[in-house]
Amino acid sequence: MANASSGIVVDNDCKLKFLELESKRAHRFITFKIDDKLNMITVDKLSNPSQTYDDFTAALPETVCKYAVHDFDFVTEENCQKSKIIFIAWSPDTSKVCNKMLYANSKDRFRRELDGVQCGVQATDSSKIGIENIRDITR
């Protein structure tokens, strides 16, 4: 089903890979892109489970919008190990305005497709996805 406001369709592979991350922990993170030619959101990159948060932030380009999910591990104030799946709408200030608008118009519907996302962040630069900011949103 296409997104009513942007006309973008979500590729079924996006949901399948997300389920692998959520249920099997087969990936630490996944990045997604909008393929202009197909008018579809597709899987961009899959990580292996051993990759770090630094590997994730390095995978986000400086000038191109992306969506991403990250299986973020953290320790609570009660010293319990937990994880949350975070949705990141990466829209750098340096990307083209038309690209930012397309990603913004498709974001909410795409996030709803990924049932199991526990929190999210809209990021326009690396400070928004800094480790301390991510820890704050997982609390």
Our count of domains for the chain comes to 1
Confidence of residue 89 (pLDDT cuts 50, 70, 90): very high
Decide if 102 is inside a domain.
yes
Alpha helices in the chain (DSSP H): 12-19, 53-59, 97-113, 131-138
pLDDT at residue number 5? 58
Whether residue 55 is predicted with pLDDT greater than 90 in this model: the reply is: yes
Decide if 3 is inside a domain.
no
Decide if 53 is inside a domain.
yes
pLDDT at residue number 123? 97
Decide if 125 is inside a domain.
yes
Decide if 37 is inside a domain.
yes
Decide if 89 is inside a domain.
yes
What's the whole-number mean pLDDT along residues 81-105? 96
Beta-strand relationship, 119-123 and 81-90:
parallel
* CATH number, domain containing residue 128: 3.40.20.10
Decide if 1 is inside a domain.
no
103: CB partners within 8 A, 6+ apart: 34, 65, 67, 89, 91
Decide if 2 is inside a domain.
no
Could you tell me the CA-to-CA distances from 105 to 44, 48, 83, 86, 101 in Å, in that order? 19, 30, 28, 19, 6
pTM for the model stands at: 0.93
pLDDT at residue number 1? 57
What's the whole-number mean pLDDT along residues 104-116? 95
Domain around 58? 9-138
Confidence of residue 87 (pLDDT cuts 50, 70, 90): very high
pLDDT at residue number 7? 82
